[in-house]
Structure 1
Amino acid sequence: MLAAPLAAMTHEQTLLEYGDQCAKEIGEIPPFDCNDGTDIPITIDGKPPGPRESPTHCDKPSLLSPASGTAGQCMPFSKILNLSRGNTQISAYCRRDILRDDKDPHYDLVVVVMHHSGSGKTCWFASNPPPLPKSKTAVPASGIDATRVPPPNERVTPAGHLTAVEFWKSPKDVAASKPGQPTCLQCHDAGPVIFSPYIGQVWDKVPTDPWGKYSSIGPAFSSYHLWTMSTPGNTCIGCHRIGSEQSCTASYLQLSTGGKNAPGGNALANRYPLSHWMPTDNNMSKVEWEAANVASVKALLDCCADKSHKSPNCTFTPMPGNTNGR
């Protein structure tokens, strides 16, 4: 499991320093416009919402921050961008939490996951929140202008655009755990990207490395020690690893296998087969699915409950490529 954060660090790495390290060890993030991304579809009973509709429930809701309820889980016109080149994998997600026109330049959150498919080194970036209104009667913030998202190590910014320090959170803030809000690494406990029915709609735009090395660089993330888990003959580990953090505590195992309903999911989302989206190529009847997978899911959930890591039926293995000591 995760070790406690380091008691003290000799130097708190700034955003620009972290951006420099990520650029040197993984690759450069180019400036980009969120509106150049691919829309992530939102449907209700198989049909897109009306032009001014802000659905709170849909067929394939976002799983980002599932503890936050349904706010933004089904908002139209969030976008995904693949900025990868060679071994440098860069995935950018531009999220809407309130309804805007498709090409409105404002978003409510921008996150970037950068991963090197050779070394396994990974970096995490998240935008600062939109500015809050100055009074209770003021008009709410219009969002983040994502016309030009700056590279996180950029020192000289074109006039009229946000600087890197204005746009991005510090690595310390990204790595910090808050009540009810798991950190990036706690959710991404098996690899740099997470499949869900929502993101699966644009999976061809997402760089993947399900079996590669995986470690996060930078002192803010140095206290994270990820483990994978398995049991003998388990059918759930045929396509990817199973992590032992939020895959357990946030019930991702149950969300993907019909044991728990996703926040923001409608009746269709909560009914087979959409309620059982692992394996991703599921074309079985429910009876067939249960015969093939129920025992394996239960075995993994039993491992989740094994806080000592000593059960003879559970194998816990340090994440390949994770050089952090325990």
Structure 2
Amino acid sequence: MSLRIRLFALCFLFTVPLAAFTHEQTLLEYADQCVREIGEIPPFNCNDGTDIPITVDGKPPGPNASPTRCDKPSLLSPTSEAKGQCIPFSKILNLSRGSTQISAYCRRDVLRPDKDPLYDLVVVVMHHSGNGKTCWFASKPPPSQSQADVPASSGFVATRVPPPNERRPPSGRPSAVEFWATPARVAASTAGNPTCLKCHDAGPFIFSPYIGQVWDRVPTDPWGKYSSIGQAFASYHLMTMSTPGNTCIGCHRIGSEQSCTAFLGLSAGNLKAPGNDRLANSYPLNHWMPTDNAMSTAQWDKANIASVNALLACCKDPAHKDPNCTFTPMPSSSNIRSLH
């Protein structure tokens, strides 16, 4: 081989991205990493979860009602209409033990009886309150979302959700690779929906009026370390925002992703959530921070409006030039630096 050819080959080697020589992390590889660094997810039955209440103008819907508007709609899609945002009998489970915090959300997009075995989505957030490491799991779409000839109400059985690292399920039960989507798919955004980390931009567990109804069933770690592990999530580098004397950061961090795009406006009455009914668009339900809000509108504005506006101004400062805005990388280690 001539010197010229050898030099060309060497140059080509160094210009090809490293990703070209690595394979995409599989579900089982990702799940094994999560087990090693955070803990085990046990098998669970979605029907063992706690119902997330649905009300319309303060009252539960009728037994055969499938409302599209309600007092506290799901904000899984915080900026656009979504199927199932007001459907009853979605459930939440807290599978935590010790420092391993696990929240499982079993969603209904179609009206079914309370203990029906069929669901349309299962999502699990697993977080270690000590090292801050976090993993994300979501079920594959039910057949109706990928096959046009399957009825829209088919769903999938979720009475035994397999651990994501399970190789050999019990007879007749789905395996992990049959049930769970790949980490690459979970990390990717879908039409109208931001990625997990874009919404969970300040911590692993996010409050909304919908999930706040069962907040005692959700593990929380508002000030702890927080980082997502796994190849598919490696490109995310979250930042938090603050301004001098800001009342909004007294209970939790404020992120700079969907907190800017949606949640600051939604929680302060500046935006209307998709799925809101008349009551949801009225005070105090449209001002859901602080969570124990018992103030009048005038009292709320006096206590919080300046802080909200200051943070919204920081949202419009992507170059981080405003001296009143402090952007801090998410604390995932002991080394934390701030950008002004």
Normalised to the residue count of structure 2, the TM-score between the two structures is: 0.90
2:113 maps to 1:101? yes
Structure 1's 97 and 212: CA in aligned 2 closer, same or farther, altered over 3 A? same
Per-residue CA deviation, residues 156-178 of structure 1 (Å, 9 max, x unaligned), is 11111111001000011111123
Alignment partner, residue 292 of structure 2: 281
Structure-1 separation of matches of 2:246 and 2:42: 41
Moved more, 296-305 or 170-179: 170-179
Structure-2 separation of matches of 1:242 and 1:154: 36
2:333 maps to 1:316? no
Match of 1:177 among 170, 189, 195: 189
* Residue pair 1:131, 1:141 contacting (<8 A) in 2 also: no
Q: CA RMSD in A?
A: 2.1
Structure 1's 178 and 70: CA in aligned 2 closer, same or farther, altered over 3 A? closer
Alignment partner, residue 206 of structure 1: 218
Larger relative helix fraction: 2
Moved more, 138-147 or 302-311: 138-147
The AA in structure 2 aligned to 1:162 is P
2:131 maps to 1:110? no
The AA in structure 2 aligned to 1:184 is C
Per-residue CA deviation, residues 188-210 of structure 1 (Å, 9 max, x unaligned), is 00000110111111000000000
Alignment partner, residue 254 of structure 1: 265
Structure-2 separation of matches of 1:11 and 1:27: 24
The AA in structure 2 aligned to 1:257 is A
Per-residue CA deviation, residues 252-300 of structure 1 (Å, 9 max, x unaligned), is 1000010001111111000000000001111111100001111110000
Match of 2:74 among 50, 62, 83: 62
Q: Once the 2 structures are TM-superposed, how far is the Cα of residue 139 of structure 1 from its aligned partner? A: 2.7
**Equivalent position SS for 1:114:** strand
**Equivalent position SS for 1:132:** helix
Structure-2 separation of matches of 1:169 and 1:108: 13
* Residue pair 2:73, 2:85 contacting (<8 A) in 1 also: yes
* Residue pair 2:79, 2:273 contacting (<8 A) in 1 also: no
Match of 2:310 among 299, 311, 320: 299
Per-residue CA deviation, residues 28-62 of structure 1 (Å, 9 max, x unaligned), is 00000000000000011211111111011111111
Q: Once the 2 structures are TM-superposed, how far is the Cα of residue 132 of structure 1 from its aligned partner? A: 2.9
Structure-1 separation of matches of 2:28 and 2:237: 25
The AA in structure 1 aligned to 2:309 is K
Q: Which has the larger radius of gyration?
A: 2
**Equivalent position SS for 1:92:** strand
Alignment partner, residue 162 of structure 2: 150
Q: Once the 2 structures are TM-superposed, how far is the Cα of residue 134 of structure 1 from its aligned partner? A: 8.5
* Residue pair 1:39, 1:77 contacting (<8 A) in 2 also: yes
Normalised to the residue count of structure 1, the TM-score between the two structures is: 0.94
Alignment partner, residue 37 of structure 1: 49
Structure-2 separation of matches of 1:148 and 1:8: 37
- Aligned residue pairs, count: 321
Alignment partner, residue 231 of structure 1: 243
Alignment partner, residue 3 of structure 1: none
* Residue pair 1:130, 1:141 contacting (<8 A) in 2 also: no
Q: Structure 2: state its 5+ residue gaps.
A: 1-17
The AA in structure 2 aligned to 1:21 is Q
Q: Once the 2 structures are TM-superposed, how far is the Cα of residue 91 of structure 1 from its aligned partner? A: 0.1
Identity among equivalent positions (%) equals 75
Structure-1 separation of matches of 2:229 and 2:147: 40
Alignment partner, residue 131 of structure 1: 143
Structure-2 separation of matches of 1:324 and 1:168: 35
* Residue pair 2:144, 2:155 contacting (<8 A) in 1 also: no
Structure-1 separation of matches of 2:182 and 2:82: 27
Structure-1 separation of matches of 2:212 and 2:40: 26
Q: Once the 2 structures are TM-superposed, how far is the Cα of residue 8 of structure 1 from its aligned partner? A: 5.1
Structure-2 separation of matches of 1:276 and 1:133: 35
